[in-house]
Amino acid sequence: MDRPLDVLNQAKGKRVVVCLKNKKEVSGTLKAVDIHLNVWLEDASVTDDEKTTKYGKMLVRGDTIVFASPTD
């Protein structure tokens, strides 16, 4: 049976875009995800309005996520 979290489980190693509750948008290469929707991204960047900041590896806390979508 399909489960919603499989959207992310199947996207490991691919680029994903994550929309956050604080209106920021994070994108990166998905390395891991858990049942709380915490995600581990590599080569992450955060966009806030027009400004983009680059990070290396990043842990995004699951309860701040509105939606996530693979972009590859």
Q: Report the interface residues with a second copy, using CB under 8 A.
A: 1-8, 17, 19-24, 26, 31-34, 37-40, 44, 46, 55-71
Minimum CB separation of residue 70 from a second copy in Å reads 6
Cβ at position 6, least distance to a second copy in Å: 7
Pairing of strands 39-48, 51-54: antiparallel
Contact 43, 56 (CB under 8 A): yes
Closest CA to 58 of 9, 10, 25: 25
Find the shortest distance in angstroms from Cβ 27 to a second copy: 12
